[in-house]
Amino acid sequence: MLVITGEGLKTLDAVRGTFEAFEIDASFDAFEAEVEPVTAGAAS
pLDDT in tens, 1-44: 777 776 676 777 778 888 887 788 999 999 888 887 766 666 55
Supply the pLDDT for residue 41: 65
- The pLDDT value given to residue 25: 92
What is the spatial distance between Cα 10 and Cα 19, in angstroms, rounded to a whole number? 15
**5/8 Cα distance (integer angstroms):** 9
Dist CA 12 CA 10 (whole Å): 6
The model's pTM is 0.40
- DSSP codes of every residue in 9-28: --HHHHHTTSS------SSH
